[in-house]
Structure 1
Amino acid sequence: MKVAVLDIKGKETGRKVDLLDEVFAIEPNNHAVYLDVKQYLAHQRQGTHKSKERGEIAGSTRKIKKQKGTGTARAGSIKSPIFRGGGRIFGPRPRDYKQKLNKNLKRLARRSALSIKSKEQAILVVEDFNFEVPKTKDFMQVLKSLGLENKKSLFVLGDSNNSVYLSSRNLKRSEVISSSELSTYKILNANNIVLLEGALEGLQSNLNK
Protein backbone atom coordinates (compact mmCIF):
# COMPACT_ATOMS: atom_id res chain seq x y z
CA MET A 1 0.00 0.00 0.00
CA LYS A 2 1.59 3.25 -1.19
CA VAL A 3 1.09 6.40 0.88
CA ALA A 4 2.25 9.91 0.03
CA VAL A 5 4.77 11.53 2.38
CA LEU A 6 3.77 15.00 3.59
CA ASP A 7 5.90 17.82 4.91
CA ILE A 8 5.05 19.77 8.08
CA LYS A 9 3.09 22.25 5.96
CA GLY A 10 0.70 19.49 4.90
CA LYS A 11 1.90 19.41 1.30
CA GLU A 12 3.03 16.31 -0.60
CA THR A 13 6.78 15.96 -0.95
CA GLY A 14 6.49 13.93 -4.15
CA ARG A 15 7.73 10.81 -2.40
CA LYS A 16 5.72 7.74 -1.40
CA VAL A 17 6.38 5.03 1.15
CA ASP A 18 5.17 1.47 1.16
CA LEU A 19 3.03 0.48 4.16
CA LEU A 20 3.07 -3.29 4.55
CA ASP A 21 -0.30 -4.98 4.10
CA GLU A 22 0.74 -7.44 6.82
CA VAL A 23 0.76 -4.54 9.30
CA PHE A 24 -1.71 -1.95 7.97
CA ALA A 25 -4.25 -4.01 6.01
CA ILE A 26 -5.06 -7.20 7.90
CA GLU A 27 -8.48 -8.41 9.01
CA PRO A 28 -8.71 -6.96 12.54
CA ASN A 29 -8.87 -9.44 15.39
CA ASN A 30 -11.30 -7.74 17.77
CA HIS A 31 -10.70 -10.14 20.64
CA ALA A 32 -6.94 -9.55 20.56
CA VAL A 33 -7.61 -5.80 20.58
CA TYR A 34 -9.95 -6.21 23.56
CA LEU A 35 -7.41 -8.22 25.55
CA ASP A 36 -4.57 -5.77 24.88
CA VAL A 37 -6.65 -2.70 25.78
CA LYS A 38 -7.91 -4.47 28.90
CA GLN A 39 -4.32 -5.22 29.95
CA TYR A 40 -3.23 -1.62 29.32
CA LEU A 41 -6.05 -0.19 31.45
CA ALA A 42 -5.42 -2.75 34.20
CA HIS A 43 -1.76 -1.72 34.35
CA GLN A 44 -2.82 1.90 34.99
CA ARG A 45 -4.34 0.88 38.33
CA GLN A 46 -2.12 1.43 41.37
CA GLY A 47 -3.80 -1.25 43.44
CA THR A 48 -3.11 0.61 46.70
CA HIS A 49 -6.74 0.62 47.87
CA LYS A 50 -7.24 -0.48 51.48
CA SER A 51 -9.91 -0.31 54.16
CA LYS A 52 -9.59 -1.31 57.79
CA GLU A 53 -11.08 -4.58 58.95
CA ARG A 54 -12.29 -5.18 62.49
CA GLY A 55 -8.87 -6.40 63.63
CA GLU A 56 -7.27 -3.11 62.55
CA ILE A 57 -9.76 -0.68 64.12
CA ALA A 58 -8.63 1.22 67.21
CA GLY A 59 -11.18 0.79 69.97
CA SER A 60 -12.05 -0.83 73.27
CA THR A 61 -12.10 -4.63 73.51
CA ARG A 62 -14.55 -4.74 76.41
CA LYS A 63 -17.93 -6.35 75.97
CA ILE A 64 -20.22 -3.38 75.34
CA LYS A 65 -23.33 -4.77 77.03
CA LYS A 66 -24.48 -7.81 78.94
CA GLN A 67 -25.22 -10.97 77.02
CA LYS A 68 -28.87 -11.39 78.00
CA GLY A 69 -31.83 -9.36 79.11
CA THR A 70 -31.42 -6.32 76.86
CA GLY A 71 -34.06 -7.29 74.35
CA THR A 72 -31.62 -6.71 71.51
CA ALA A 73 -29.06 -8.84 69.71
CA ARG A 74 -25.98 -9.84 71.63
CA ALA A 75 -22.85 -7.81 70.86
CA GLY A 76 -19.30 -8.29 72.03
CA SER A 77 -17.19 -5.58 70.39
CA ILE A 78 -17.59 -1.93 69.41
CA LYS A 79 -15.33 -2.75 66.43
CA SER A 80 -17.93 -5.03 64.90
CA PRO A 81 -18.83 -4.18 61.27
CA ILE A 82 -22.49 -3.71 62.22
CA PHE A 83 -21.65 -0.62 64.28
CA ARG A 84 -20.75 2.80 62.96
CA GLY A 85 -16.99 3.19 63.02
CA GLY A 86 -16.46 -0.54 62.98
CA GLY A 87 -14.36 -2.51 60.54
CA ARG A 88 -15.45 -3.16 56.98
CA ILE A 89 -16.50 -6.62 55.90
CA PHE A 90 -14.49 -7.99 52.96
CA GLY A 91 -13.01 -4.57 52.24
CA PRO A 92 -10.49 -3.92 49.45
CA ARG A 93 -6.90 -4.97 50.00
CA PRO A 94 -3.75 -3.94 48.11
CA ARG A 95 -3.26 -6.10 45.02
CA ASP A 96 -1.43 -6.20 41.72
CA TYR A 97 -3.69 -5.81 38.68
CA LYS A 98 -1.05 -6.72 36.09
CA GLN A 99 -2.02 -9.23 33.44
CA LYS A 100 0.16 -11.30 31.15
CA LEU A 101 -0.23 -11.51 27.38
CA ASN A 102 2.16 -13.16 24.98
CA LYS A 103 4.09 -11.03 22.49
CA ASN A 104 2.46 -12.49 19.39
CA LEU A 105 -1.02 -11.59 20.62
CA LYS A 106 0.08 -8.04 21.45
CA ARG A 107 1.61 -7.64 17.98
CA LEU A 108 -1.61 -8.93 16.43
CA ALA A 109 -3.61 -6.42 18.48
CA ARG A 110 -1.43 -3.50 17.36
CA ARG A 111 -1.57 -4.61 13.73
CA SER A 112 -5.36 -4.87 14.04
CA ALA A 113 -5.60 -1.36 15.53
CA LEU A 114 -3.39 0.11 12.79
CA SER A 115 -5.46 -1.67 10.15
CA ILE A 116 -8.63 -0.16 11.60
CA LYS A 117 -7.11 3.33 11.43
CA SER A 118 -5.81 2.69 7.94
CA LYS A 119 -9.27 1.63 6.77
CA GLU A 120 -10.64 4.86 8.25
CA GLN A 121 -7.92 6.78 6.34
CA ALA A 122 -6.75 8.19 9.65
CA ILE A 123 -3.01 7.55 9.16
CA LEU A 124 -0.65 10.24 7.83
CA VAL A 125 3.03 9.82 6.98
CA VAL A 126 5.10 12.96 7.55
CA GLU A 127 8.78 13.51 6.86
CA ASP A 128 11.02 13.80 9.91
CA PHE A 129 11.14 17.26 11.44
CA ASN A 130 12.65 19.02 14.41
CA PHE A 131 12.47 22.38 16.21
CA GLU A 132 15.49 24.46 17.15
CA VAL A 133 13.92 25.16 20.54
CA PRO A 134 10.77 23.67 22.09
CA LYS A 135 7.79 25.89 21.26
CA THR A 136 4.15 24.93 21.60
CA LYS A 137 3.30 27.57 19.01
CA ASP A 138 5.43 25.80 16.38
CA PHE A 139 3.82 22.45 17.10
CA MET A 140 0.35 23.98 16.90
CA GLN A 141 1.27 25.34 13.47
CA VAL A 142 2.16 21.80 12.36
CA LEU A 143 -1.21 20.56 13.63
CA LYS A 144 -3.00 23.32 11.77
CA SER A 145 -1.15 22.58 8.54
CA LEU A 146 -2.10 18.90 8.80
CA GLY A 147 -5.72 19.72 9.67
CA LEU A 148 -5.47 18.18 13.13
CA GLU A 149 -5.82 21.23 15.41
CA ASN A 150 -9.25 20.13 16.71
CA LYS A 151 -8.64 16.37 16.71
CA LYS A 152 -6.94 13.93 19.03
CA SER A 153 -3.67 13.07 17.35
CA LEU A 154 -0.82 10.68 18.07
CA PHE A 155 2.65 11.44 16.65
CA VAL A 156 4.95 8.43 16.41
CA LEU A 157 8.68 9.23 16.22
CA GLY A 158 11.47 6.90 15.19
CA ASP A 159 13.78 8.11 17.96
CA SER A 160 12.99 10.22 20.99
CA ASN A 161 13.04 13.92 20.11
CA ASN A 162 13.05 16.14 23.17
CA SER A 163 12.22 19.41 21.40
CA VAL A 164 9.20 17.95 19.59
CA TYR A 165 8.02 16.19 22.74
CA LEU A 166 8.30 19.31 24.91
CA SER A 167 6.56 21.41 22.26
CA SER A 168 3.50 19.12 22.43
CA ARG A 169 3.39 18.50 26.16
CA ASN A 170 0.93 21.30 26.98
CA LEU A 171 -1.60 20.18 24.36
CA LYS A 172 -4.33 17.90 25.69
CA ARG A 173 -5.40 16.61 22.29
CA SER A 174 -1.93 15.67 21.02
CA GLU A 175 0.61 13.14 22.21
CA VAL A 176 4.12 12.43 20.98
CA ILE A 177 5.68 9.01 21.56
CA SER A 178 8.48 6.91 20.11
CA SER A 179 7.64 3.81 18.09
CA SER A 180 8.69 1.57 21.01
CA GLU A 181 5.96 3.15 23.18
CA LEU A 182 3.16 2.49 20.70
CA SER A 183 0.26 0.55 22.20
CA THR A 184 -3.12 -0.64 20.99
CA TYR A 185 -4.88 1.68 23.43
CA LYS A 186 -2.99 4.77 22.24
CA ILE A 187 -3.73 3.93 18.60
CA LEU A 188 -7.46 3.53 19.17
CA ASN A 189 -7.67 6.50 21.54
CA ALA A 190 -6.48 8.93 18.84
CA ASN A 191 -8.54 10.22 15.94
CA ASN A 192 -5.48 10.40 13.69
CA ILE A 193 -2.09 8.71 13.70
CA VAL A 194 0.88 10.68 12.35
CA LEU A 195 3.81 8.40 11.51
CA LEU A 196 7.11 10.13 10.99
CA GLU A 197 9.08 8.67 8.11
CA GLY A 198 11.92 7.61 10.38
CA ALA A 199 9.59 5.49 12.51
CA LEU A 200 8.25 3.32 9.71
CA GLU A 201 11.11 0.87 9.23
CA GLY A 202 11.46 -0.02 12.89
CA LEU A 203 7.70 -0.13 13.46
CA GLN A 204 7.01 -2.43 10.53
CA SER A 205 9.94 -4.76 11.24
CA ASN A 206 8.85 -5.08 14.87
CA LEU A 207 5.20 -5.83 14.11
CA ASN A 208 5.79 -8.05 11.07
CA LYS A 209 7.33 -10.97 12.95
Structure 2
Amino acid sequence: MIVMKLDIINLNNDITGQIDLHPEIFGLEPQEDILYKIIHWQLAKRRAGTHQVKERGDVRGSTRKIYKQKGTGKARHGAIRGAQFRGGGIIFGPHFRSHEYKINKKVRKLGLKFALSSKLKEVHLTIMDEFNLSSHKTADLKQKLGNFNAKSILIIDNNINENVKKSCANIHTINVLPVAGINVYDIIRHEKLIITVDALNAIKERLA
Protein backbone atom coordinates (compact mmCIF):
# COMPACT_ATOMS: atom_id res chain seq x y z
CA MET A 1 0.00 0.00 0.00
CA ILE A 2 1.30 3.46 -0.91
CA VAL A 3 1.79 5.69 2.12
CA MET A 4 0.65 9.26 1.54
CA LYS A 5 1.98 11.88 3.93
CA LEU A 6 0.91 15.46 4.44
CA ASP A 7 2.22 18.17 6.75
CA ILE A 8 0.16 19.17 9.78
CA ILE A 9 0.06 22.91 10.38
CA ASN A 10 -1.38 25.23 13.01
CA LEU A 11 -3.37 28.45 12.68
CA ASN A 12 -0.14 30.40 12.29
CA ASN A 13 0.71 28.30 9.23
CA ASP A 14 3.64 26.63 11.02
CA ILE A 15 4.36 22.93 10.43
CA THR A 16 3.84 20.90 13.60
CA GLY A 17 4.18 17.36 12.22
CA GLN A 18 3.10 14.90 9.54
CA ILE A 19 0.18 12.55 9.11
CA ASP A 20 -0.57 9.55 6.87
CA LEU A 21 -3.49 9.88 4.49
CA HIS A 22 -5.50 6.82 3.53
CA PRO A 23 -4.88 6.18 -0.21
CA GLU A 24 -8.37 4.67 -0.65
CA ILE A 25 -9.86 8.01 0.43
CA PHE A 26 -7.38 10.62 -0.80
CA GLY A 27 -5.49 8.76 -3.53
CA LEU A 28 -8.26 8.11 -6.06
CA GLU A 29 -8.54 9.57 -9.54
CA PRO A 30 -11.72 11.71 -9.43
CA GLN A 31 -14.46 10.88 -11.95
CA GLU A 32 -16.41 13.94 -13.02
CA ASP A 33 -19.55 11.99 -13.91
CA ILE A 34 -19.85 10.60 -10.37
CA LEU A 35 -19.25 14.03 -8.82
CA TYR A 36 -21.88 15.53 -11.15
CA LYS A 37 -24.44 12.88 -10.18
CA ILE A 38 -23.89 13.48 -6.45
CA ILE A 39 -24.07 17.27 -6.75
CA HIS A 40 -27.23 17.06 -8.90
CA TRP A 41 -28.79 14.73 -6.29
CA GLN A 42 -27.88 17.08 -3.43
CA LEU A 43 -29.27 20.16 -5.15
CA ALA A 44 -32.45 18.30 -6.11
CA LYS A 45 -33.01 17.42 -2.43
CA ARG A 46 -32.67 21.09 -1.47
CA ARG A 47 -35.36 22.28 -3.86
CA ALA A 48 -38.51 23.39 -2.06
CA GLY A 49 -40.80 22.20 -4.84
CA THR A 50 -43.43 24.79 -3.88
CA HIS A 51 -44.14 25.90 -7.46
CA GLN A 52 -47.87 25.66 -8.14
CA VAL A 53 -50.23 26.85 -10.88
CA LYS A 54 -54.01 26.96 -11.10
CA GLU A 55 -55.64 24.63 -13.57
CA ARG A 56 -59.02 25.05 -15.20
CA GLY A 57 -60.85 23.77 -12.15
CA ASP A 58 -58.96 26.07 -9.76
CA VAL A 59 -59.55 29.51 -11.31
CA ARG A 60 -62.60 31.68 -10.67
CA GLY A 61 -65.30 31.83 -13.34
CA SER A 62 -68.56 30.34 -14.46
CA THR A 63 -68.83 26.85 -15.90
CA ARG A 64 -71.56 28.03 -18.28
CA LYS A 65 -70.92 27.62 -22.00
CA ILE A 66 -70.10 31.16 -23.18
CA TYR A 67 -72.12 30.90 -26.40
CA LYS A 68 -73.88 28.27 -28.46
CA GLN A 69 -71.90 25.58 -30.23
CA LYS A 70 -72.97 26.35 -33.81
CA GLY A 71 -74.08 29.26 -35.92
CA THR A 72 -71.87 32.02 -34.51
CA GLY A 73 -69.05 31.78 -37.04
CA LYS A 74 -66.61 31.64 -34.16
CA ALA A 75 -64.46 28.89 -32.72
CA ARG A 76 -66.23 26.41 -30.48
CA HIS A 77 -65.65 27.16 -26.80
CA GLY A 78 -66.83 25.84 -23.49
CA ALA A 79 -66.42 27.69 -20.19
CA ILE A 80 -64.60 30.99 -19.79
CA ARG A 81 -62.02 29.25 -17.59
CA GLY A 82 -60.28 27.62 -20.54
CA ALA A 83 -56.54 28.12 -20.97
CA GLN A 84 -57.02 30.09 -24.20
CA PHE A 85 -58.74 32.92 -22.30
CA ARG A 86 -57.07 35.55 -20.18
CA GLY A 87 -57.28 34.51 -16.53
CA GLY A 88 -58.01 30.93 -17.48
CA GLY A 89 -56.35 27.83 -16.09
CA ILE A 90 -52.83 26.71 -17.01
CA ILE A 91 -52.35 23.47 -18.92
CA PHE A 92 -49.61 21.06 -17.74
CA GLY A 93 -48.13 23.65 -15.35
CA PRO A 94 -45.87 22.81 -12.37
CA HIS A 95 -47.40 21.48 -9.16
CA PHE A 96 -46.18 21.10 -5.61
CA ARG A 97 -43.91 18.06 -5.42
CA SER A 98 -40.64 16.77 -4.02
CA HIS A 99 -37.67 16.76 -6.40
CA GLU A 100 -35.77 14.27 -4.26
CA TYR A 101 -34.73 10.95 -5.72
CA LYS A 102 -32.67 8.03 -4.47
CA ILE A 103 -29.05 7.33 -5.27
CA ASN A 104 -27.00 4.27 -4.35
CA LYS A 105 -25.24 4.50 -0.97
CA LYS A 106 -22.00 3.14 -2.44
CA VAL A 107 -22.05 5.82 -5.14
CA ARG A 108 -22.55 8.54 -2.50
CA LYS A 109 -19.61 7.19 -0.52
CA LEU A 110 -17.45 6.99 -3.64
CA GLY A 111 -18.38 10.55 -4.60
CA LEU A 112 -17.19 11.80 -1.20
CA LYS A 113 -13.86 10.04 -1.70
CA PHE A 114 -13.50 11.57 -5.17
CA ALA A 115 -14.21 15.04 -3.76
CA LEU A 116 -11.54 14.64 -1.05
CA SER A 117 -9.06 13.18 -3.55
CA SER A 118 -9.63 16.10 -5.92
CA LYS A 119 -8.72 18.62 -3.21
CA LEU A 120 -5.46 16.80 -2.50
CA LYS A 121 -4.69 16.52 -6.21
CA GLU A 122 -5.28 20.28 -6.68
CA VAL A 123 -3.07 21.02 -3.62
CA HIS A 124 -6.04 22.65 -1.91
CA LEU A 125 -6.14 20.34 1.10
CA THR A 126 -4.71 21.40 4.47
CA ILE A 127 -4.50 19.30 7.63
CA MET A 128 -4.57 21.36 10.84
CA ASP A 129 -3.76 20.17 14.35
CA GLU A 130 -6.81 21.99 15.73
CA PHE A 131 -9.01 24.92 14.83
CA ASN A 132 -9.78 26.83 18.01
CA LEU A 133 -10.13 30.57 18.47
CA SER A 134 -9.88 32.50 21.71
CA SER A 135 -12.04 35.29 20.26
CA HIS A 136 -15.33 35.31 18.37
CA LYS A 137 -14.40 38.40 16.36
CA THR A 138 -14.60 38.06 12.59
CA ALA A 139 -11.49 40.21 12.12
CA ASP A 140 -9.39 37.73 14.14
CA LEU A 141 -10.53 34.83 11.96
CA LYS A 142 -9.81 36.78 8.77
CA GLN A 143 -6.32 37.54 10.03
CA LYS A 144 -5.62 33.87 10.80
CA LEU A 145 -6.95 32.61 7.46
CA GLY A 146 -5.29 35.38 5.46
CA ASN A 147 -2.18 33.22 5.22
CA PHE A 148 -3.96 30.70 2.98
CA ASN A 149 -4.72 33.09 0.09
CA ALA A 150 -8.00 31.37 -0.84
CA LYS A 151 -11.20 32.89 -2.19
CA SER A 152 -13.34 30.46 -0.17
CA ILE A 153 -12.54 28.03 2.64
CA LEU A 154 -14.39 25.05 4.11
CA ILE A 155 -13.33 23.95 7.60
CA ILE A 156 -14.18 20.43 8.77
CA ASP A 157 -13.84 19.79 12.49
CA ASN A 158 -15.11 17.05 14.75
CA ASN A 159 -15.73 19.39 17.69
CA ILE A 160 -16.46 22.87 16.40
CA ASN A 161 -15.39 25.68 18.70
CA GLU A 162 -18.19 28.11 19.56
CA ASN A 163 -15.98 31.09 18.73
CA VAL A 164 -15.33 29.60 15.29
CA LYS A 165 -19.09 29.32 14.63
CA LYS A 166 -19.68 32.95 15.59
CA SER A 167 -16.72 34.37 13.68
CA CYS A 168 -17.63 32.43 10.51
CA ALA A 169 -21.25 33.56 10.58
CA ASN A 170 -20.47 36.96 9.03
CA ILE A 171 -18.26 35.66 6.20
CA HIS A 172 -20.10 33.98 3.34
CA THR A 173 -16.87 32.64 1.82
CA ILE A 174 -15.86 30.73 4.97
CA ASN A 175 -17.95 27.81 6.23
CA VAL A 176 -17.47 25.23 8.96
CA LEU A 177 -18.98 21.74 9.04
CA PRO A 178 -18.88 18.77 11.43
CA VAL A 179 -17.75 15.41 10.07
CA ALA A 180 -21.37 14.21 10.05
CA GLY A 181 -22.28 17.04 7.68
CA ILE A 182 -19.53 16.74 5.06
CA ASN A 183 -20.83 16.50 1.51
CA VAL A 184 -19.57 16.63 -2.06
CA TYR A 185 -21.25 19.91 -3.01
CA ASP A 186 -19.71 21.97 -0.19
CA ILE A 187 -16.26 20.41 -0.66
CA ILE A 188 -16.22 21.09 -4.41
CA ARG A 189 -17.63 24.63 -4.30
CA HIS A 190 -14.98 25.88 -1.84
CA GLU A 191 -11.47 26.54 -3.10
CA LYS A 192 -9.63 25.49 0.07
CA LEU A 193 -10.41 22.55 2.35
CA ILE A 194 -9.11 22.54 5.93
CA ILE A 195 -9.52 19.36 7.98
CA THR A 196 -8.46 19.01 11.62
CA VAL A 197 -6.62 15.89 12.78
CA ASP A 198 -9.62 14.74 14.86
CA ALA A 199 -11.93 15.20 11.88
CA LEU A 200 -9.51 13.32 9.61
CA ASN A 201 -9.55 10.31 11.93
CA ALA A 202 -13.35 10.39 11.99
CA ILE A 203 -13.46 10.56 8.18
CA LYS A 204 -11.18 7.52 7.97
CA GLU A 205 -13.53 5.56 10.22
CA ARG A 206 -16.51 6.60 8.13
CA LEU A 207 -15.09 5.97 4.66
CA ALA A 208 -12.24 3.45 4.96
Query: 1:10: which partner in 2?
Result: 13
Aligned partners of 1:6 and 1:127 also within 8 Å? yes
Distance 1:154 1:69 in 2: 72
C-alpha RMSD of the superposition = 1.3
Distance 1:60 1:12 in 2: 77
Contact 1:153-1:190 within 8 A present in 2 as well: yes
Match of 1:49 in 2: 51
The offset of 1:143, in angstroms, is 1.2
5+ residue gaps, structure 1, are none
* Pairs within 5 Å for 1:66-145: 66-145=68-147
Give the C-alpha shift of residue 23 in structure 1. 0.6
Contact 1:29 1:108 in 2 (8 A): no
TM-score by length of 1: 0.93
8 Å contact from structure 1 (residues 27, 112) kept in 2: yes
Counterpart secondary structure, 1:63: coil
* Deviation at residue 47 of structure 1 after TM alignment: 0.9
Q: How does the TM-score come out when normalised to structure 2?
A: 0.93
The CA deviation string for residues 41-80 of structure 1, in whole angstroms up to 9 with x for no partner, is 1011011111000011111122212222221101121100
Paired with 2:9 and 2:35, the residues of 1 have a C-alpha distance of: 29
Give the fraction of aligned pairs with identical amino acids, expressed as a percent. 37
Output one character per residue of 1:151-203: Cα deviation in whole Å (capped at 9) or x when no partner: 11111111233221121111111111111111111111111101112211001
Q: Can you give the 5+ residue segments of structure 2 that lack an aligned partner in the other structure?
A: none
Q: Where in structure 2 are the equivalents of 1:191-206 lying within 5 Å?
A: 191-206=191-206
Aligned length: 205
Matched, 1:158 2:158: yes
